[in-house]
Amino acid sequence: MIEIKNAKKSFGKNEILHDVSIQVNKGDVIVILGPSGSGKTTLLRCINFLEKADAGTLTIGEQTVDLKKASSKEILEIRRKTAFVFQNYSLFHNKTALENVMEGLITARHIPYEVAKKKAEDTLAWVGLLAKKDAYPCQLSGGQQQRVGIARAVVLDPEVILFDEPTSALDPELVGETLAVIKSVAERGITMIVVTHEMSFAQDVASKVVFMDGGFIVEAGTPAEIFRHPKEERTKQFLARIISAENMYYI
């Protein structure tokens, strides 16, 4: 179980997160929706300590740490229980696809080379990129890079994978293949927190949808509740605009 309690974060005078709490059960797929600047990405980054929150606590499994005062040892422990998929892929440019996937296993977890290689190859095969294992990131398309990014996260068997707008840097044709891989991650029963603008993905895959705006959680519930019967005015507003935009896209 993962629990974030009373997370607060501001950049200068600009308050990004006002007291945000989320509870995630094992195997849940949480999709966080919301307009730009609502604090979705910041929340995700605070969980992985890529950003240091100003207050709040984080519980992963048995371990509870203070989001502000965590020691570097605690931060490392949390990071080794979580994995992150970046918006712009952020593959290690100096390593091949296979080496990218192996890096965490070998350097962070000290798994023997041969075992790590086998595991990394299996995971690359699972995202359909075994043939590209010796390619450098610059030789891969955006969709392929993101699939390697997902493999790099999945191979670590983390308690939770955090997806930060994993498809928003991709062109529309490549979004599908990447979403399909993310969907199969969900089917493996891995706990996930996904920040995305893909509404149909949220409807299909999410076990819980969280709608954020202005640093608050406006509404949370099952996809059916949020998409069909939103309670809050702000949610209705947001969905009306997004869904009409999506329909236009199909025309």
Q: List contacts with another protein (CB under 8 A).
A: 48-50, 76, 79-80, 82-84, 86, 88, 90-95, 103-104, 107-109, 136-139, 152-153, 156
196 or 235: CB nearest another protein:
196
32 or 217: CB nearest another protein:
32
18 or 95: CB nearest another protein:
95
CB 130 within 8 A of CB 161: no
Query: Which residue has 């390697």 as its token pair?
Result: 148
Question: Smallest distance, Å, CB 9 to another protein?
Answer: 16
Question: Smallest distance, Å, CB 19 to another protein?
Answer: 25
230: left (phi over 0), alpha (psi -120 to 50) or beta: beta
CB count, 10 Å around CB of 74? 16
Question: Smallest distance, Å, CB 96 to another protein?
Answer: 8
Strand pairing report for 208-213 and 29-33:
parallel
Question: Smallest distance, Å, CB 109 to another protein?
Answer: 7
Residue 69 corresponds to which tokens in the numbers above? Answer: 């005062």
108 or 131: CB nearest another protein:
108
Query: How far apart are alpha carbons 144 and 159 in whole angstroms?
Result: 24
90 or 203: CB nearest another protein:
90
Strand ranges of the sheet holding 2-11, from the earlier edge strand across to the other edge = 14-24, 2-11, 55-60, 63-66
Query: How far apart are alpha carbons 235 and 74 in whole angstroms?
Result: 36
Question: Smallest distance, Å, CB 81 to another protein?
Answer: 9
